[in-house]
Structure 1
Amino acid sequence: MNSRDTGFPRADAEHDFLRARRRQVLSRLSNWLRREPDDVNIMLPFDEVIEALGWEGERRIGLRVIRLDSIVGSVNRGRDFDRRFRPTSGRVRQRWERLALASRRGEAIPPIEVYRVGELHFVADGHHRVSVAHALGLDTIEAYVTRVTTKLDAGGIRYRGDLMIKDYRRLFLERVPLAGEARAAVVVSDPWDYAELGEHIEAWGFRLMQDEGGFLDRATIAARWYESEYVPVVAMLRQADLVGTRTEAETYLWVAGERYRLIRTHRWDDEVIETLRAQR
């Protein structure tokens, strides 16, 4: 028995709810005092995550035991609970306390229903059950799981703000369909850089088609750009110690822009590198 329990299940269920509400309020206050982003405590919306990553398919895989800390979002109830499934108001109190009372009495609680995207889970049905399980200190919960496959992986998503970089990367890879090693290597941290890099590669591909006098599809241009432009240029930039704290793709984008601004050329040679080094 928890040291704070009274031994009376109904009273303890009421106290459980009040503690969960108090923790939610204190968490909001703490985030405000630390000036953390507004979305740090907001549940991830399933539809926005899928839109950013790009839906490919889904398959129901049945009953599983999942970790509560892997549940980060909701299909349709984001306003009633925060990121840790603490109630955001008294609106859900009656049903919440009824479930808490049933749990304390040892009654069977039906499994929840979730969508799985990568290692993340999003609740379709069972928000109150997840909230009560958190409040009672449980680590896992039973769930009927539907696995969703997406064009991009869900790795790196923590907050709602992270969805923008995923969305821009997905659009970039539709414009520049890199594959394999190239796909993993070309990464930037600012979503706007993906738009700029996409335009740069399309312009590079246009010049290539003019030089060769024929049409090339997007996949071919992406592969040619990576192999004959990106890889050798990044090697030159590393030798010249120009990469620094940026990613390789960010450095490439920066020096490509500076090269044209300073020298009005699309070529790469020692003169270009020395000029860029002097401007660093």
Structure 2
Amino acid sequence: MDSGSIARRELEYARRKALMYTLLSTVRGEENHLIPFEWVRYLKPSSEHYRGTQTIEVEAIIGSVDRYDEFDRHFLPLEDYLDERWIAIRRAQLEGRELPPIQVYKVGGVYFVKDGNHRVSVARRERQKYIDAEVIELDVMIEPAPGDTLKDLILKGEQAAFLRETRLEEVRPQHTPILFSTPGRFDILLDHIRTRQYYLGMKHGREVSWEEAVGSWYDRLYSRVVEHLRAHGVLDRFPGRTEADLYLWIMDHRYFLTEQYGFDVGSEQAVTDFSAHYAPRWYERMGTRLKRWWQGKPLKPHAAR
């Protein structure tokens, strides 16, 4: 069999596999395309650098600049008009012809194809481990990951902005990662810190620095709630939620209880009372867990940075 026939047969197999992945993703309600490079802007890159030609891992390529909807997330081709180009590249490979390096953007430890999507598709189909690439690297505080959705990248961008503004990495280098399951929550944390700064200034009769306020907020408010959440196993009663989600709810609940009883009930009582009154019922929790399992999502979103 000649190289052209082999390449066409391999393409047909790749298209059948792509169809299988598409059907499975549809049933699960998952996204099955590559990550658009445009989404990286939500991570707010600070600078970029040309790194020259390097050998990179094919598996670390997770997105594309402008052809993200033409391939699935496994880089299998989805459109008929890609066939001839795909076959030509595979045929050249079979005949031992040298192919030029692809061009990619590196963001953290992953890559987005600027030029060479078909070459990556063929490489993935042939389980090629490495590929040569011209690399432009973008500096980001928090990296994207395979399978990230637009919501994931927005959350990571908000987290990065929070870390830059609070300088929490410097103030508390060993801090617990602060992660949310819903966008738009980090601004509320900043309000908590500003309120803490004002309260400390009133208490001590002096100007309190931003760094001192951040450290005090983290030590005296956020960490204490997290400690109580863990001690009482509360997070397990709220599948799909994070410690930061619960921190905000519990701080609101603490204020409500304080208003009700006329004195500050403290963070531990707020944690246990909130859990007792607002945790989903066992069958609701089971339904949420089953749904997240079916969709391939972790029960505790963004478990690590």
Q: Which TM-score band applies after superposition, normalised by the shorter structure?
A: 0.7 to 0.9
Structure 2: which 5+ residue stretches go unaligned? 277-305
Amino acid at match of 1:158: G
Query: In the alignment, what sits opposite 1:4?
Result: none
Q: How many residues in Structure 1 have an aligned counterpart in Structure 2? A: 267
- Supply the distance in 2 between the matched residues of 1:228 and 1:80 (Cα, whole angstroms): 50
Report the alpha carbon displacement of residue 201 of structure 1 after superposing the two structures with TM: 2.8
Q: Contact 1:75 / 1:124 at 8 angstroms: preserved in 2?
A: yes
Query: In the alignment, what sits opposite 1:16?
Result: 10
Q: Relative to structure 1, is the Cα distance of residues 240 and 84 closer, same or farther in structure 2, using a 3 angstrom cutoff?
A: closer
Measured against aligned partners, the alpha-carbon deviations of 1:133-189 in whole angstroms (never above 9, x if no partner) come to: 1223322211122222113233x5522242132133234335544224358424123
2:54 pairs with one of 53, 60, 64 = 64
Structure 1: which 5+ residue stretches go unaligned? 1-6
Range moving further from structure 2, 165-174 or 270-279? 270-279
Report the alpha carbon displacement of residue 117 of structure 1 after superposing the two structures with TM: 1.2
Q: Contact 1:182 / 1:226 at 8 angstroms: preserved in 2?
A: no
Range moving further from structure 2, 88-97 or 160-169? 160-169
Q: Relative to structure 1, is the Cα distance of residues 26 and 278 closer, same or farther in structure 2, using a 3 angstrom cutoff?
A: closer
- Supply the distance in 1 between the matched residues of 2:271 and 2:140 (Cα, whole angstroms): 40
Report the alpha carbon displacement of residue 77 of structure 1 after superposing the two structures with TM: 1.4
| SS of equivalent residue, structure 2 residue 114 | strand
- Supply the distance in 2 between the matched residues of 1:239 and 1:84 (Cα, whole angstroms): 37
Q: Relative to structure 1, is the Cα distance of residues 206 and 224 closer, same or farther in structure 2, using a 3 angstrom cutoff?
A: same
- Supply the distance in 1 between the matched residues of 2:126 and 2:267 (Cα, whole angstroms): 63
2:253 pairs with one of 251, 258, 266 = 258
Amino acid at match of 1:263: T
Bigger relative contact order, structure 1 or 2, given CA contacts below 8 A and separation 6+? 1
1:36 and 2:1 correspond? no
- Supply the distance in 2 between the matched residues of 1:133 and 1:271 (Cα, whole angstroms): 58
Q: Contact 2:43 / 2:154 at 8 angstroms: preserved in 1?
A: no
**Aligned CA-pair RMSD:** 3.0
**Percent same amino acid at aligned positions?**
29
Q: Contact 2:86 / 2:122 at 8 angstroms: preserved in 1?
A: yes
Query: In the alignment, what sits opposite 2:147?
Result: 158
- Supply the distance in 2 between the matched residues of 1:114 and 1:138 (Cα, whole angstroms): 17
Query: In the alignment, what sits opposite 2:298?
Result: none
Measured against aligned partners, the alpha-carbon deviations of 1:60-91 in whole angstroms (never above 9, x if no partner) come to: 22222222111000112112212111111111
Q: Provide TM-score, normalisation by structure 1.
A: 0.81
Q: Contact 2:54 / 2:134 at 8 angstroms: preserved in 1?
A: yes
- Supply the distance in 2 between the matched residues of 1:260 and 1:183 (Cα, whole angstroms): 29
Q: Contact 1:58 / 1:148 at 8 angstroms: preserved in 2?
A: yes
Report the alpha carbon displacement of residue 43 of structure 1 after superposing the two structures with TM: 0.6
1:137 pairs with one of 120, 127, 131 = 127
